[in-house]
Amino acid sequence: MFVITVQFKVKPAHLEAFLPLMQANAAQSVAQEEGCHQFDVCQDTDALETVFLYEVYQDEPAFQAHLASAHFRAFDAATADMIASKTVQSYERLS
């Protein structure tokens, strides 16, 4: 399995708009992408502008298909100006 983590720092003025878009993207990913097995959206309880994603894909090509999907491209375009920073890391799940 191929795992992606993403940490967003959302601009505080955009947090209320960002969260529903992020949650919709996650739900669509699991529902529409055969290779997406898990997509968790988490928010830091002490720093609400920090949003953490944990995504599990069948393999790296499944993740690349996610990046090419219409719903991801729409989310990415809609939220580009809402994000102060973004850190993406990839992992291979061992078990």
Q: How confident is the model at residue 95 (pLDDT cuts 50, 70, 90)?
A: confident
> Which DSSP category does 80 fall into?
G
pLDDT tens digit string along 47-82? 999 999 999 999 999 999 999 999 999 999 999 999
Structure tokens at 30: 């699991």
Task: Assign residue 64 the CATH number of its domain.
Answer: 3.30.70.100
For residues 51 and 7, the answer to whether their CB atoms sit within 8 Å is yes
Q: Which alpha helices (DSSP H) does the chain contain, by range?
A: 15-32, 60-68, 70-79
- Where does the pLDDT of residue 88 fall: very low under 50, low under 70, confident under 90, or very high at 90 and above? very high
Q: Mean pLDDT across the chain, nearest whole number? A: 97
In total, how many domains does the chain have?
A: 1
Residues spanned by the domain of 45: 2-92
Of the pLDDT bands very low, low, confident and very high (cuts 50, 70, 90), residue 90 is: very high
Q: What is the pLDDT of residue 33?
A: 97
- Whether pTM > 0.85 for this model: the answer is yes
Beta strands in 16-63 (DSSP E): 36-43, 50-57
Is the separation of the CB atoms in 54 and 30 below 8 Å? no
